[in-house]
């Protein structure tokens, strides 16, 4: 019988990872998304909880691209649009 070590995300218990660092990154991404969602809902109350959650998770998953865009390089956002079109 083989034994496998798996790591579970504390914020997303359904998600299992083979690597602790990957599980930690996922938790941090979800933590950022949660905070972003709260800020977005406060800023735009009409946004709604579900849409705010979806937008915040998307932004958190692509935080590096958004960080570059916020640092005076908005052109990098076009890479997200291109990735979305390919999918």
Phi, psi values for residue 70, rounded to 5°: -70, -15
pLDDT of residue 11: 85
- Domains of the chain, start order: 7-83 (1.10.10.710)
- CA distance linking residue 34 with residue 46, whole number of Å: 17
Burial (CB < 10 A; 0-12, 13-18, 19+), residue 46, is: exposed
**Model pLDDT for residues 16-56, shown as the tens digit of each residue:** 899 999 999 999 999 999 999 999 999 999 999 999 999 99
pLDDT of residue 9: 84
**Model pLDDT for residues 61-70, shown as the tens digit of each residue:** 999 999 999 9
């Amino acid at each position: 019988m083989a034994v496998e070590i798996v790591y579970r995300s504390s914020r997303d218990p359904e998600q299992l990872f083979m690597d602790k660092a990957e599980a930690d990154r996922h938790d941090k991404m979800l933590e950022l998304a949660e905070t972003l969602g709260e800020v977005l809902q406060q800023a735009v109350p009409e946004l709604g909880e579900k849409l705010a959650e979806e937008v915040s998770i998307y932004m958190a998953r692509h935080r590096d691209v958004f960080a570059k865009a916020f640092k005076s390089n908005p052109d990098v956002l076009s890479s997200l649009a291109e990735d979305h079109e390919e999918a």
